Structure 1
């Protein structure tokens, strides 16, 4: 299906991993240059739209999305060579993220294995600056390719221009709505160094024997599989809340009140708190509201219990946020994009 044909009144429930009931005006695919040009023209005409990847970082909270959903379907992977310091790889936006991680490791290029089993597509990874177990995307990206909808041509953002921060980038702010990410360039170190400092990653790798990218990939995958529910069985969008970052003084005061507070050093002398721990300490692990709930095995994850609605989810989000803020004085923010019935222009979701 190209941009010249469309599915009308499309069911969005199977297109986002949280699986809430929703329908859109129509669905179109972005699979090549002609599709991008058609999308740019529709945007210039003022048609409401939403860009969608694999739907793991997008949650439809209204039963009707009065917009055209454009699904990113740009495919391909290419090895660009080695400069002696890094292997350089280009991956197009519609490729599955975890399959891309597996591919790089299988080819002998370490660096992405800590990010294994993060759901979504490659094009969405820079938007959120995805991260896990001590590694963030910004540590491995050299450039992001995008299609500029205003001038209708390709452009390239270098690492600095992406303005990466914790779960943040320029694509969520100044560049939002103007660009479609088409591909991402990765720089994977020739002299690979494992990152083992988070959770029980080091222990899992040790159990597998030698410290290699393959074993680190296996360890992270096993940990995530144990902690995260399968969206095909229990609808979810992975980690639902960002780990909040606070100043050193606030963190010190919190540790004095709560000695077991789980925390990690962050950039600029700040401190990252574990949102899942905060939620669990509020007694919300396994809490159910309507057809949704806090996952019984991992409080950082919200789940669709089968009959959930957008209204249920929004009420649960508010309840979790207010509970944590009352007890700890910290605001935790949702990580996925919560899409209402009428969406303004956005960057690709995962």
Structure 2
């Protein structure tokens, strides 16, 4: 008798736990329409923008509507979550699923090109017994920028990709040669690398017309060890829109340095350069040099994870400013 009671209790508890887990796993709240309430009013009452969530609501509740998608009294309707999550494996396992924070850049399309990669590591700097490689640090910062842009509604195309690196938090980013350009092996010859990147960008640009589009090319400079430099922004000599984008970026960096290091000053500049990618890519493009990888002070800009994230955040703010100025 005791065993039977225990068995009944066990089964009851098991069913309760299963039921509770099922409730916890249900991702949607429900709501019943009020008398005379239409779809627009119903969604608004449930704190959803009808312009954004009508189709998602209809898809979620198929078979529960009257003629012309009229709401039915007494029916429980699932309410879409106002939080949107995206999934991007390039960011690494710890960051591949992320929440959309805003629609500030809704409709904007970006092509992000981190410098060098594949057989070409780019500029090299010595830090203690470690060798710092331009392509690894430029790529990490570019990934961080890509994620920030996506979190705020933009469409992002990573032209250079390394599918097993992800965003890395360690100071020393180990070198490898497995980066690809638009899923193709990166050639050794510089002119072929540049042509490959240009072709990839321009093909995507034509598909995305007439959207607002920008190309951002991110590099790390190499100068004498004693030469510390600020972040520089370059545009094509004949591109007024490129100049304006570069100026928007510089303005943010100037303001950030004034805020965080008021006694330091900021010496970054905007100038034109006759670079292949700036001349040949169809979208408005800006070329960015983040610092001198051989200078100890500039190296702190790269080896500290927080500094890499700050660079990405500031670049995002500059691009947002540029977007807003073109969409008034």
TM-score, normalising length from structure 1?
Answer: 0.22
The structure that is strand-richer by fraction is 1
The structure that is helix-richer by fraction is 2
Higher Cα Rg, which structure: 2
